[in-house]
Chain A
Amino acid sequence: MLGALIIVFREVIEAGIIVGIVMAVTKGLRGSRLMAGAGVAAGVLGAGLVAAFAGVIAETLNGFGQELFNAAILSLAVCMLAWHNIWMASHGRELAAEARKLGQEVRSGARSLVALAIVIAVAVMREGSEVALFLYSLVAAGGATARDLVIGSLLGLVAGVAVSAVTYFGLVTIPARRLFAVTSALITFLAAGLASQAVSFLQQAGFVSAWRWGDTAWDTSAILSDTSLFGRVLHTLVGYADQPSVLQVVVYAGTLATIFALSKAFAPRAVARPPEAPAPQRG
């Protein structure tokens, strides 16, 4: 029962922390709750489909369909997060001005919301499909132990949702004028972590194995194992890995640098404002 609890808990927090961050980022934007709900619903549906067609996905592309599929959807999430951050950097000020003018009616935020709904859907689909396969294997086994394990899974689900809720409520207590900077940084690191995970899948499939790209860059498992709870949370938040490959490190740094540079490049030139002018209200 404890084993099942831990497995489900781990998958749920990996998706849930991402959902929590995205919901905090879009809090107050009109339609953001609907978008988050639609993202979760699409993710759950997608998870069921991925689990149901696991065999088909696994068989394609010389048996590496699963890795390429995971790498592709992770890359999609990275692009969506990058685009959101760059879009917010370039429109943040006008968005804040509009928000003041029109209250909650920030219509121009809608496109960015779609990008974040896709991020939520991808996160839920990836982790959810593993939970679905796990639960199916429990139910298929049948018997008293199965009942025990299903109870464990449900407890894992509840605990995972609780941790995700803590993430969300922790973030939204940050003062509005700081929230934008905090969430921009969080999203950038989140994107870099997902990009690094995508690389891990590609390398597991034997891609990008030339030179020393696949070698272990360093080993910090003695200091912080990424299988510990804190390591797991850091893994989800900022992509922490205790034994990253060389290419994972390069792609991680490259993603951080790219998003940071593009956000800077697309940000409107700073206009001298009186110091008492209110900062952008939201992120």
Chain B
Amino acid sequence: MTYLLRTAAAAAAFAVGILGPARAEDLQTYSVTLKNHRFTPTEIHVPTGKPFFVSIKNLDDTAEEFEMHAPAIEKVIPPGEEGKARIRPLGPGRFPFFGDYHQDTAQGVIVSE
């Protein structure tokens, strides 16, 4: 049990060490809504090199998982709920996002420029 405690203590100290610099950010938020398993708008334009939030409002009556491969984001948005995800600074380019549970229709792209 001492090993467990020591390991936990080490992990906690490590976590506090890295979480120390955490602070609330006041970032630009871009909103999309999901209705009939489609995003509106399907394109978000963001400035290159700045982190931002994407806010997803799910107006469908089933859950959706907002997902991006690059950078990796996965966030379940329950029906009727709104969820936010912080996106790291992007280089110039197009970064697709989609609804994991309805990939046929729920598609969109973040355009960084």
Contact = CB atoms under 8 A, between A and B. Distances in A.
A54 B72 contact: no
Contacts of B19: 202, 207-208
Contacts of A225: 69
B86 interface: yes
B62 A141 contact: yes
Interface of B: 3-4, 6-8, 10-11, 14-15, 18-19, 21-25, 27, 51, 53, 61-65, 69-86, 88-89, 91, 100-104
Contacts of A208: 18-19, 21-22
Nearest to A204: B85
A66 B3 contact: no
A66 B85 CA distance: 11
A223 interface: no
Nearest to B19: A208
Contact of A58 (B11, B24, B76): B76
A75 interface: yes
Contact of B22 (A7, A87, A207): A207
| 7 tightest A-B CB contacts, nearest first | A210-B21, A137-B62, A55-B78, A206-B86, A214-B88, A133-B63, A54-B78
Contacts of B21: 208, 210-211, 213
Contacts of B80: 55
Interface SS of A by simple majority: helix
A206 B82 CA distance: 16
A215 B88 contact: yes
Contact of B69 (A3, A63, A67, A226): A226
Nearest to B5: A83
A233 interface: no
A59 B81 contact: yes
A54 B63 contact: yes
B53 A82 contact: no
A254 interface: yes
